[in-house]
Structures are given as C-alpha cells and as structure tokens.
Copies of this chain bind each other. A is one copy, B any other.
Amino acid sequence: MGNNRQMILNFFMNSTGFHETAWRHPLAEPEGVTSLALYKKMALIAEQAKFHTVFLADAYELGEKVKHQALSRLEPYTLLVALAAVTERIGLVATVSTSYTEPFHTARLFASLDHLSGGRAGWNIVTTGIGNTHLNFSREQNFEHTERYNRALEFVELTTKLWDSWEDDALLFNKADGLYADPDKIHAIKHKSDNFSVEGPLNLPRPPQGYPVLAQAGSSEDGKELAARTGELIYTAQQTLKDAQTFYADVKSRVAKYGRDPEEVKIVPGFSLIVGATEAEAKEKEAELRESIIPELGLKRLSSRLKVDLFSYPLDGPVPQLPDPATINENRSRFELMKNMIESEQLTIRQLIERASGGNGHRTFAGTAVQVADEMEEWFTKAACDGFVIRPQQLPTGLEDFARLVVPELQRRGLFHTEYKGRTLRENLGLSRPVNQFARKTFEAGGIHQL
C-alpha cells in the first residue's frame, strides 16, 4: 500500500435511510419513494462530495413487514439508469441476482448502462438467499447454498464472455464501403453446460470499461471464494477492527491464490452512521431514531433472521440459544456475525433490536466528523479496509451531514480525493481495464488492455 493511498467511499442509497424505522423521522421523505426527485437530489449531493459510487441493493420479494417498514422500492437498475442521465462522474452500482435472471439479459443491461453513463457502471453480484423469492419465479424451491454459488461463478464467467464477444474495435462505421462492423471481431461464445447454454454474441458493443466493475458481498466460505475469483469491490459487514482485519487479509490472500493482484480487489465494509456538529447533537439524533423503533417489527425481523421465535422471550432478558450456523442456508455469514455479536456482548433482546435497527448487522456509530474520521482512519490505515460503504441511518439529511462535515475532514487528512481523477469508475477505483479474452492476438502482444 502506497503512501498516497486514499479511501474509496460508496454511498448506499435508499429512500429514507438505513435505520429500520428512519422513515418515521420528521425529516424523512417517505412519499418520495417512487419519484426521481429525491434520489436525484441525493445522487447530486454524493457526486458533489466526490463519492466513488452510489449503490442500490435489491430484493425480489416484498417481505412481510411492509406494515411498519419502508420496503417498497423502485427496481434499482431502473433507478440507476435514470441517475446516469442526470449525473456525470459518480459510479453507479446496482444489485442483480444470478439465481433469477438470464445471463444474456444481465450482460446486456450492464453493458447498456456502461455505455450510456460513459463507463460508470457496476454490478453487485448476488445469489439471492432470501426466503420465498423462488415463489415469484415459478420455482418450487431456492437453490441450495453451494449450488447457488456455483451457478453464480459460471454466470459471471458467461457474462464476461458476452461482454468480450465484441472486440473493442469491432465497429467500423465505414460509410463509403458500407462496412458497419467487422464480423471477424464479433464472436459467438457457444457456452454450454448443465446450467446455461448461450450462443452469443451480445447485440451491442463491448462496454467502455471492458466489464462493468464487479461488486460482491458474499462473506461466507462460498461467498469469499466467489469474491476472490470474480469480485473487484467487496462489500462486507464487520463489527470490530480485528474481525475486519482478519476478513481483509483472508480475502486478499484468496485473491492472490487465484493469480489475481490483491490491489485489484477493494474491500469496503459498511458503516451505519449518524453525524452531528457536536457529540451531543449526534447522540440526540441517535435517540430520535431509537424512539422510532417498533419492537414488534424488530422481533419479527430478528426471529426470521436468527431462526428462533423471539416473541416468546422477555424483551429485557438475554437472547436465547441460536442454531448452529451450518444449518443456515440464507445469508449465513450475516447470521454468524450477529450470533458472535450477541454472545460476545451478552445482549438482551431489546439491546439487540436497537443495534440491529441501526445497522442490520453493520457497524453503527454516532459522533462528530472528527470522531467518525478517526474511526475510519484507524480501519483504513490498519489494513482493515480500502474504504467504506456509507450507510446513513437517516436520509436524506444523514448524507448531507456526511458530505458537509466528514468529507472535508477526510480530505484535510489526505485520506480522500478532492476530485474525480479518471473518467470511468474503474479509473477512479484504481482498477485496470480487463483484457478481451477473444482478442487473443492483441492479448499475446501485451496490447491494448490498459486503455
């Protein structure tokens, strides 16, 4: 790691913030959930603050808790495209599942977004371990954990083939000779396996970035392997410096094992933040959000996640014994993380609800810009991360606070850039442009892959 190393900041966006009931906050704008205006405002604040990316998560089912929780959302790829049209520099990362989409469609969508945005697209690859999603897709059951990850790996390889199916110089636009494209530089991919059979080529040119940036959040054993083989931007939930350092070293060494440069993989833990001008103000904001908590919602959510019926235990008593992580199919790593947190901190059910409401398993913190920057600096300089996913507990004001207070503090310390240095997201993240696997001659000559 060089001396000029600076952190990567990603803004995790939703309509009202990442505290579970932040939509109840007086400054929240839940009515904005389906209109562009609210998201556009936030994307422009994030771009002004020089965030590397705006990131949107997804789920393919509503979930049961919409009575109390802001679960309604626009399809995130759609929203990201609209934001591409109204921003200029910020990266745009959306979640799309490898278990419930077609590789041809997914490759084409992200290629289209990459073109339209001038090389600012990123794809958060998820395998969708959530409960009843399969029931919305004519499937009797979800894929089992390992099968899901095997499919995901093949899916990603397949999409890279589709992106590479056009060499970078395949388009000719030669009006005089009537040559629109060079068919020798457009390749069928002829992918065939038990999971997928895709002939190719794609029906649009290779994305400006070669491939959109590949983001990934798996933290289970399977998840870390997938991240090590395919991921470039790794999202993770880490509660302590030590755990984050262990995860960081683990993933970087796995990356090396697959012959990849560990510098080409950026690890960015989530940080669920409340920022105040003073410590008292931060604590006051934290208390406001704590008051919005609906215990019934927390019990429902955590009972489902932890696979134990918390309704039958006293709210101020200890969390009961949890099942063995090996028996968990969905989001196993988050389960383990929460189990460890509960056991090491001996949380009561009420305390657990408060912790989980603010961060959903991610680290929570409330403080001044200096305190927040201190925390971030420590993690960043002690080999625990390459940057962060900023999850403001309350939106849009939490983003405004971070942009106004924390970003200048980080910049003052030299920890964060003051301007976008590249044109593409890859350039801004310090990731190289992938070599085209079908342009063999170019490849062997050590050619054009670093455009």
Question: Is the beta-carbon distance between B67 and A136 smaller than 8 angstroms?
Answer: no
A108 within 8 A of B: yes
Which partner residue on chain B sits nearest A176 by CB separation? B24
Q: How far is the CB of A54 from chain B (nearest CB, A)?
A: 14
Q: How far is the CB of A70 from chain B (nearest CB, A)?
A: 6
Q: Could you say which residues of chain B place their CB within 8 Å of the CB of A101? A: 102, 105
Complex Cα distance, B175 from A196, in Å, reads 47
A85 within 8 A of B: yes
Which partner residue on chain B sits nearest A137 by CB separation? B102
Question: Is the beta-carbon distance between B116 and A68 smaller than 8 angstroms?
Answer: no
Candidates B26, B138, B175; contact of A175 at CB < 8 Å? B26
A216 within 8 A of B: no
Candidates B30, B85, B86, B108; contact of A173 at CB < 8 Å? B30
A434 within 8 A of B: no
A259 within 8 A of B: no
Question: Is the beta-carbon distance between B35 and A138 smaller than 8 angstroms?
Answer: no
Question: Is the beta-carbon distance between A74 and B116 smaller than 8 angstroms?
Answer: yes
Question: Is the beta-carbon distance between A180 and B66 smaller than 8 angstroms?
Answer: yes
Q: Could you say which residues of chain B place their CB within 8 Å of the CB of A198? A: 135-138
- Looking at A199-207, A272-280, A302-310, A318-326, the stretch in contact with chain B turns out to be A199-207
Complex Cα distance, B180 from A316, in Å, reads 27
Question: Is the beta-carbon distance between A135 and B199 smaller than 8 angstroms?
Answer: yes
Complex Cα distance, B36 from A81, in Å, reads 11
Question: Is the beta-carbon distance between A112 and B74 smaller than 8 angstroms?
Answer: yes
A328 within 8 A of B: no
Q: Could you say which residues of chain B place their CB within 8 Å of the CB of A201? A: 62
Which partner residue on chain B sits nearest A78 by CB separation? B112
For A48-86 the 0/1 string (1 means CB < 8 A from B) is 000000000001111100111111111101110111111
Interface residues of A in 131-164 (CB under 8 A from B): 132, 135-139
Complex Cα distance, B26 from A173, in Å, reads 12
Q: How far is the CB of A192 from chain B (nearest CB, A)?
A: 9
Q: How far is the CB of A395 from chain B (nearest CB, A)?
A: 15
Q: How far is the CB of A335 from chain B (nearest CB, A)?
A: 23
A171 within 8 A of B: yes
Q: Could you say which residues of chain B place their CB within 8 Å of the CB of A256? A: none
Which partner residue on chain B sits nearest A186 by CB separation? B66
Chain A interface residue count: which class?
35 or more
Question: Is the beta-carbon distance between A180 and B78 smaller than 8 angstroms?
Answer: no
A294 within 8 A of B: yes
Q: Could you say which residues of chain B place their CB within 8 Å of the CB of A83? A: 85
Question: Is the beta-carbon distance between A197 and B138 smaller than 8 angstroms?
Answer: yes
Q: Could you say which residues of chain B place their CB within 8 Å of the CB of A180? A: 23, 30, 66-72
Which partner residue on chain B sits nearest A136 by CB separation? B104
Q: Could you say which residues of chain B place their CB within 8 Å of the CB of A199? A: 61, 132, 135-136
Q: Could you say which residues of chain B place their CB within 8 Å of the CB of A115? A: 34-35, 74
Complex Cα distance, B105 from A59, in Å, reads 11
A179 within 8 A of B: yes
A446 within 8 A of B: no
A369 within 8 A of B: no
Q: Which of A68, A111, A182, A203 has the most CB of B within 10 A?
A: A203
Question: Is the beta-carbon distance between B178 and A78 smaller than 8 angstroms?
Answer: no
Question: Is the beta-carbon distance between A21 and B178 smaller than 8 angstroms?
Answer: yes
Taking A23-B175, A74-B115 as contacts, is the C-beta distance between A137 and B104 under 8 angstroms? yes
Q: Jot down 6 A-B pairs with beta carbons below 8 A, ordered by A.
A: A60-B203, A61-B203, A85-B85, A101-B105, A104-B136, A136-B199
Which positions in A face B, CB cutoff 8 Å?
21, 23-26, 28, 30-31, 33-36, 40, 59-63, 66-75, 77-79, 81-86, 100-102, 104-105, 108-109, 111-113, 115-116, 118, 132, 135-139, 171, 173, 175, 178-183, 186, 195-205, 292, 294, 297
Q: Given contacts A23-B173, A60-B203, A138-B196, could you give 11 more A-B pairs where the C-beta distance is less than 8 Å?
A: A35-B116, A35-B118, A59-B203, A66-B183, A67-B181, A72-B205, A74-B116, A74-B204, A75-B112, A77-B78, A138-B197
